[in-house]
Structure 1
């Protein structure tokens, strides 16, 4: 299953020229505001007709400007999750969900409403109206409505952007379940490195209307040469297993034979997790340090050193646990004589990894 997108479009001084293929899973369109993410997703939905382009999902051609093909939005079989839930205020949650199902073709394979209600934990909300729901609850209902329309593809346009951090933390696990338990592919728009690190199976990085990289979250986010959200959002993604929960409030993880300690993670031993480690939370040392309070020390080899325009530099370090990126000063990089192939150690404070940067990795 593959979504193929090739679009050219110009408006208001902005030029978009982007092409990519999105396989099954969650494909994140990642970049700063104004990079073209929403333009792409609206073109896929049929809400915008680009100047030139072709969009095809498997054997269904949704758009081909060279042949005059342009399916209407309601013929594209797409479930759209907006920044706000956009639920019908005069209908109950049950009726909003049924509205999505009403649009599903009779011949289409449908998700079971009971299963979707259970997956999204909205059983207690069915008789309420949207006005009585929190922002997070509205988004869960919006996800359910999209899934019950029997879509071939789900589009999510920054669905967490309007939520407070507490509500974001509430919703992210449901998107992880959507990724792991529902066969419908998702195109997910975000400018948040944390969201992309947790959710994406494929990342399409955009900058100024162009695709600058495509790959897994670990590949794209762990490459200092690719900074679609800027150096402040630089970081890396590791995959680890939960090894044990300790009585002092720490969870011990194992990644590539390396022990990592984080504040208590609510996951059973053996669970696979994704961990985003922000570059500004990583220190480097040429020798293995001693006498530090930091518990996480990862030995490795410098993969690359990328100086910035200012006093900073991004250093990529390949470790047994995976690639780690550190944001240091150019002076520090020079003092440590960091260069490709040089051995070094990454130091990560246990408490520096936020709960929002830890999520389920999904099946292998």
Structure 2
């Protein structure tokens, strides 16, 4: 697999992008950060659309940018999926797909038209035109059209930004299977943490045109020094577990974390299936002794790893160890003081089951062609 390497600069009157980063040639790499941090600009550099870019961009042994000398966008073999589907309104979904398939011409066909249709479940949409498709359906067709150009690298620029939470939940599983189904690396731009959690194998976090963190999703999101990048209201952690069982009568799923278990709104996954769950720091409360008589279903034994008071605020971020996995809690400084929290102190993390947004939880992937 070909890795992508960038060492680039782009200067505007009030903004400068300066990024040096390697992206592996497999899986989904999330490019994350607040609006205006340079995510889309970096994609434009990689695709060859940013004429003012300088530096070096290479894909495997091919050099796409060297100083100011650059390979034209159409020669790079890069596919680009945008926020808006950009379908041809006068063509049906099938017509849009056929157009891309024919335009691919002599590009080596590593996969067929039918492969794309089956993976994205597009056959039921063939006869409809763009205005007859839902937002999620339009994006699936747009992704299919891009794949049928047979790109070697796929760039996705906030493709779900215009969708509500339910529609996002429906399309996320389709995107998650693309690298395996087509052997193509993906760089996925978003400012939505639930998308990062469910899709990405790794994350590159940008702030003010610079890389401020890069690595695995869980270890990057748990960093207490990235609250401003994540947004303090949405900052949190990622827990990995396995489905331990279903309570169909009460519509709950039990998730085994190894040393403890969580109850979350019911997820239609088989027992033993692995999944990731994002827990917002603001949804975690702490207790020094195990409480009784609570409506909170999840009481997890933990130890304090680190406490980071927020400057000039009433709050502090606490990083907890749950038998090897880490959890963040955002509480007041007064609570830290009253509970006597210090590094190594045993505590209990309390999380409401309703804190897990059901619509953003993992969904069952429909069978191929179904």
Q: TM-score, normalization: structure 1? A: 0.94
Equivalent residue, structure 2, for 1:298? 300
CA distance in 2, matches of 1:342, 1:335: 13
| Structure 1 gap ranges (5+) | none
8 Å CA contact 2:166–2:359 kept in 1: the answer is no
Q: 2:310 aligns with which of 308, 311, 317?
A: 308
Larger deviation: 226-235 or 274-283?
226-235
Confirm or deny: 8 A CA contact 1:300 1:346 kept in the other structure. yes
Find the counterpart in structure 2 of residue 137 from structure 1: 137
Alignment partners' CA distance in 1, 2:319 and 2:174: 32
Taking the aligned partners of 1:303 and 1:26, their CA distance within structure 2 comes to 30
Counterpart in the other structure of 1:46: 48
Aligned match of 1:242: 243
1:334 is aligned to 2:334: no
> C-alpha displacement at 1:102, in angstroms?
2.8
SS in structure 2 opposite 1:145? helix
Q: How does 1:7-46 map to 2 (within 5 A)?
A: 7-23=8-24, 24-46=26-48
Q: 2: CA distance between counterparts of 1:306 and 1:180?
A: 39
Q: Using the alignment, how far apart are the partners of 2:299 and 2:61 within structure 1?
A: 49
Worse-matched range after superposition: 80-89 or 163-172? 163-172
Quick check: 191-200 or 296-305, which moved more? Answer: 296-305
* Aligned-residue offset at 1:121: 1.6
Query: SS where residue 206 of structure 1 aligns?
Result: strand
Partner of 2:111: 111
Structure-2 residue corresponding to 1:88: 88
How far apart are residue 16 of structure 1 and its match?
1.1
Question: How far is the alpha carbon of 1:143 from its aligned partner?
Answer: 0.8
Structure 1's 180 and 255: CA in aligned 2 closer, same or farther, altered over 3 A? farther
Q: Secondary structure at the match of 1:225?
A: helix
Provide closer, same or farther for how the CA distance between residues 105 and 318 of structure 1 changes in structure 2, counting only shifts above 3 A: farther
Deviations 1:76-132 (A, max 9, x none): 111111000001112221121122223435252432221221221211111222122
SS in 2 for 1:359: coil
Whether the 8 Å CA contact 2:107–2:150 is kept in 1: the answer is no
> CA 1:180 to 1:237, structure 2 compared with 1: closer, same or farther past 3 Å?
farther
Is the contact made by 1:286 and 1:345 (CA closer than 8 Å) also made in structure 2?
yes
Stretch moving more, 82-91 or 164-173? 164-173
Q: Deviation at 1:49?
A: 2.7
Offset of 1:289 from its aligned partner?
A: 2.3
Aligned residues: CA RMSD? 1.8
Q: Is the aligned partner of 1:60 residue 2:38?
A: no
Q: 1:193 maps to which residue?
A: 193
In 2, the alpha carbon distance for the partners of 1:170 and 1:229 equals 24
Rounded to whole Å, the distance in 1 between the matches of 2:277 and 2:261 is: 13
Change (3 A) 1:163 1:94: same
Please say if residues 170 and 363 of structure 2, whose CA atoms lie closer than 8 Å, have aligned partners that are also in contact.
Answer: no
| Paired residues of 2:300 and 2:322 also in contact (CA < 8 A) | yes
1:351 and 2:324 matched:
no
Corresponding residue number in structure 1 for 2:209? 209
Scaled by the length of structure 2, the TM-score of the pair is 0.93
The superposition leaves residues 183-231 of structure 1 with CA deviations (integer Å, 9 ceiling, x where unpaired) of 2111011111111111110100111111000011101111111231221
Across the two proteins, how many residue pairs are aligned to each other?
360
Deviations 1:332-363 (A, max 9, x none): 1122222222222211111111124432799x
After superposition, the Cα gap between the structure-2 partners of 1:344 and 1:50, relative to the gap in structure 1 and judged at 3 Å, is farther
Does the 8 A contact of 2:222 with 2:326 survive in 1? yes
Q: Distance in 2 between matches of 1:248 and 1:180?
A: 35
1:110–1:148 CA contact under 8 A, matched in 2? no
Residues of 1 paired with 2:105 and 2:308: CA distance?
52
| CA distance 1:182–1:312, shift in 2 (3 Å) | farther
Cα pair distance change 1:107/1:163, threshold 3 Å: closer
The answer to whether the 8 A contact 1:300-1:320 is kept is yes
Q: Distance in 1 between matches of 2:126 and 2:330?
A: 47
For residues 128-154 of structure 1, what are the alpha-carbon distances to aligned partners after superposition, in whole Å with 9 as ceiling and x for unaligned? Answer: 221221111110001111111111110
